[in-house]
Amino acid sequence: MWKVNPPYIGAAYYPEGLGQERIAYDLAQMKQTGINTIRLAEFAWSRLEPEEGHYDFHWLRTVVEQLAEQGIGTILCTPSATPPFWLTDKHPEILPMRYNGHRTTHGARLHYCPNNLVYRQYISRINTALAQEFADCESVLGWQVDNEAYLPFGEGCFCPDCERGFRHFLQERFTDIADLNEAWQLTLWSQEYPSFAQVLMPRPDTPHHPSLKTAWLEFQEQSTIAYIDEQITALKRHTRKPVSTDMMPLPFIDHVKANRQADLVMFNHYCNEEGMHHVLFWLDYLKTVKDTPLWNTETDPNGNGGTTLMGYKPQGFCTANSWLPMAFGGEANLYWHWRGHRAGHELMHGSVIDSAGRPTYTQLEISRIAQDLSRCARFLNGTKLKQARIAIHYSAYAEKLFAHQGICEHPGYWHVLFKHFYMPLIEAGIRVDIISPDHDLTPYACVISPLLACLDEYDLRERLEQWIEQGGRWIAGPLTDVRNRHAAKFAEPFGSLEQWGGIRLKYFAAANAAYPFPIQDQEGTALESQLWYDGFELEGASAYAVYGENAHEFAGLAAMTVNNKGAGKITVLGTVPEEAVYIQLVRSYMREPAQSGAGINASPNVLCMPRSGPAGEGSIVIEYRNRPGWLTIDAPAVNLLTGATLQGKVEVPAFAVMVLHNLA
């Protein structure tokens, strides 16, 4: 029986724009390069349904079969990201509308309103036909729905369907318009709406209410997710292969919600050397979304680019970048794309072979990556990434909330999380999960929740309290538990933090770089702090750090507090403390040192991801900063990529990858 095994390595491919001769050439090149997976048809609607109701799947089936003959599996895509001209021409109402009443036009992609039911019917018909056509096709590894679905224009579609939908969304949430007026405090500024049917969409040319704008983003997020869910659910009626949708690391759309109907997480990312560590965050997040291994469905082989090609990427970059998804428990890495385009919006994007069919400068590196993955397949498939015991909350609702109320000046919710709370742990060798508020807390010894403005999603408040009572150690704040589900404040400064934390907020202020507030730990060491200052009085808690004498009105108030609650502990951060204090605090909350990683000490630029399973124990090691590093290996291990046995302190060259298999 036909079978391709993970790890999957391959690329997106657009045979719809090529003749048979080039396709044959490409198949030979793919074989030679050693890839085993090709993604097809995501934008091919006009070839699949040249006229309304006339489907032509033959060409696609031919390619799928030709690939299978080369031992290459296929990921098939629904073509909904690019409705053809005949469809938008017949139904211009599917085109998304800007706040000013102008609809976008045919000519690019994603030119649809997710709430348009006519459009959804067309999609449903072609998807069903596609799925039926390929239902018997063994080499189809899985299905991708749409492509990088996202809020139209980044801010949502303002068409009449969306207006109606938004009003319905609010009615569902509030039932009575008086409740909405009260929740948003619309008495202020005489803003009250008389009925749901009259609530206005937040046009950018009127400076609308932040709660309205946050609700709008939630509605638009829900619309896009419903659009994706409908496709996934429908496809799953016709196939037993995994179905998902590929998403970028974009804000506003909750990856947990967007993947609820999906069988696995598909992830597209494009990074450069300076931003490769950003990908760590996203993989540490996405690996927690589903129990199944993720598929990295897009990354560039040698340079991002639309009509302009970005600069040369150094040797090794592609190797480290391609192994990242594997290190975080994934099982696929696909490049965008196989062959460069001869014309169009992305004719200068990186590819494995160029538009003339010639190998690009990373083709040999990719071939080596494919070989290496194949060599490690037994170990990779027979082990899984070990569970982390520390988690950091990341909330797509908080992203939306902060987008319309900064609360204080900062470079953005994600940036604060990434810079001050995630990277310090990674560089200290502490393994973490990034989790949605939805995520089960029981696996974790310690959960960190900075800027988690609202605890009222997914019953988090209840689950948190229970988990703490049972022994969890929670690090909360700053700016955590300060807003309700309507993006408004509670009657008191926090929802539960004062009560749980045994504290009372005395004063607050936004940080001012000209007047830094020093804080002192129990030994009296002066520490830096930033972003925000909450000054607490103790009502049962003890102070972990207090504001120093130079902190003016805040002098002597607690800046970080610890309180016992049941079998657990709560630390409230009134400010963003300097890195060393933060790491010390987290370390003190790790029940056993071994939980933090693989028992491996490494330089900050070296990632060690421990694995275990029937195939043994080991780890994937990646240098991700393009500079020399090191790691200390306690017990002897074989690097499966070289066959060398390693122990003790070893050098890890720039962008090096090792797959260590512990000797029993």
Residues in region 100-159 near its own copies by CB under 8 A: 100, 102, 104-109, 111
Which member of 233, 315, 588, 647 binds its own copies (CB under 8 A)?
A: 315
Residues 12-41 contacting its own copies, CB under 8 A: 14, 16-17
- Closer residue to its own copies in complex, CB, 93/192: 192
Selected range binding its own copies among 3-11, 236-244, 352-360, 564-572, rule: CB under 8 A: 352-360
Non-local (6+) Cβ contacts of 259 within 8 A are 244, 245, 265, 289, 290
292 near its own copies (CB under 8 A): no
- Closer residue to its own copies in complex, CB, 6/83: 83
Residues 630-659 contacting its own copies, CB under 8 A: none
In angstroms, the Cα distances linking 356 to 118, 312, 360, 625 are: 40, 19, 10, 33
Selected range binding its own copies among 32-40, 445-453, 510-518, 647-655, rule: CB under 8 A: 510-518
Measured distance CA(87)–CA(232) in Å, rounded: 22
Q: Which of 17, 621, 13 is nearest to 323 (CA)?
A: 621
Q: How far is the CB of 16 from its own copies (least distance, A)?
A: 5
Task: Identify the residue whose tokens are 């049972």.
Answer: 470
Q: How far is the CB of 147 from its own copies (least distance, A)?
A: 10
- Closer residue to its own copies in complex, CB, 100/664: 100
In angstroms, the Cα distances linking 561 to 392, 448, 464, 502 are: 19, 14, 18, 9
Cβ–Cβ < 8 Å for 66, 42: no
- Closer residue to its own copies in complex, CB, 348/621: 348
- Closer residue to its own copies in complex, CB, 118/488: 488
Q: How far is the CB of 335 from its own copies (least distance, A)?
A: 16
Selected range binding its own copies among 162-170, 180-188, 419-427, 599-607, rule: CB under 8 A: 180-188
Query: Which tokens sit at 287?
Result: 């690996």
Selected range binding its own copies among 126-134, 189-197, 458-466, 571-579, rule: CB under 8 A: 189-197
Residues 72-91 contacting its own copies, CB under 8 A: 79, 82-86, 89
Measured distance CA(566)–CA(486) in Å, rounded: 30
312 near its own copies (CB under 8 A): yes
47 near its own copies (CB under 8 A): yes
Residues 381-420 contacting its own copies, CB under 8 A: 404-409
Which member of 415, 489, 627, 649 binds its own copies (CB under 8 A)?
A: 489
Q: What is the DSSP letter of 146?
A: S
Which member of 224, 239, 259, 360 binds its own copies (CB under 8 A)?
A: 360
Q: How far is the CB of 266 from its own copies (least distance, A)?
A: 20
189 near its own copies (CB under 8 A): yes
Instruction: Provide the pairing of β-strand 295-299 with 266-268.
Output: parallel
Q: Applying CB under 8 A, what is the total number of residues that bind its own copies?
A: 108
Measured distance CA(369)–CA(73) in Å, rounded: 18
Q: How far is the CB of 413 from its own copies (least distance, A)?
A: 13
Selected range binding its own copies among 186-194, 367-375, 629-637, 655-663, rule: CB under 8 A: 186-194
Q: How many residues does the chain have?
A: 664
The dihedral over CA atoms of 203, 205, 207, 208, expressed in degrees to the nearest 10, equals -10
Task: Identify the residue whose tokens are 């039926």.
Answer: 132
Residues 421-460 contacting its own copies, CB under 8 A: none
Measured distance CA(446)–CA(452) in Å, rounded: 15
Cβ–Cβ < 8 Å for 249, 296: no
What is the distance, to the nearest Å, from the Cα of residue 626 to the centroid of all Cα atoms in its chain?
23
Cβ–Cβ < 8 Å for 271, 238: no
Cβ–Cβ < 8 Å for 437, 452: yes
